[in-house]
Amino acid sequence: MKKIVSLAAGLALVFGASNAAQAQTCTTAGCTVTHTVSATAPTILRLTLSSTNTTLAAPADADFDNAAGVTQGASFNVLRRSNVNASVSIHTAAANWSGPGATTKAVGDLRYSTTGAAPWTAITGAPVNLIASGKGQSDEDITWNTLWNLATDEPGAYSLVTTFTLTTP
């Protein structure tokens, strides 16, 4: 038992001397002492939507069966901030818009653009890259364009949930 205590005391002396040896002392003119500063940067990932919903204006008679669709409502902004490569995609998990009664409106009737005009990209169930992978800050203004069909789009309220996803490689 005495040998174990002696060994422990000896090791404490060695490690104590080792820590003391790490301190630097300058005792002559012109000598230098160095000091290292360290920090750890956290991962920064932020996805911000300027609005969580958009209310589109009701379509007019001339808006139905118009292949150009109807650009309605104000644009909103999607912002990505990151210090690692990150991208933003858009999709919907819904099979159709929710609508009045048994009405079925295809998700692809909702289209978007980052230029505010054609070409329009239809929303799908598969994620589509909206902001390419990169570091720093990137933002896109999104404008909605909707197709209306006179034979199938009955009067009433329609809605579709879209999902924006921030991903890293």
pLDDT tens, residue by residue, 126-138: 999 999 999 999 9
- Sequence spans of domains, the chain: 45-167
Q: What pLDDT was estimated at residue 150? A: 95
For the chain, give the mean pLDDT.
Answer: 87
pLDDT greater than 60 at residue 14: no
> Cα separation of 36 and 65, whole Å?
69
Token representation of residue 24:
């630097």
Share of the chain above pLDDT 70, in %: 86
Q: HSE on the CB side for 12, CA within 13 Å? A: 6
Give the Cα separation of 81 and 45 in Å (integer). Answer: 6
Residue 13's pLDDT is 45
By C-alpha distance, which of 77, 64, 82, 94 is closest to 130? 77
Instruction: Please name the residue that has the structure tokens 């300058």.
Output: 26
Region 45-167: CATH code: 2.60.40.1090
- Span 70-114, pLDDT tens digits: 997 668 899 999 999 999 999 999 999 999 988 889 999 999 999
CA distances 61 to 10, 65, 66, Å, are: 94, 9, 10
Nearest to 138 by CA among 74, 76, 53, 47: 47
Mean pLDDT of the 49-65 span: 92
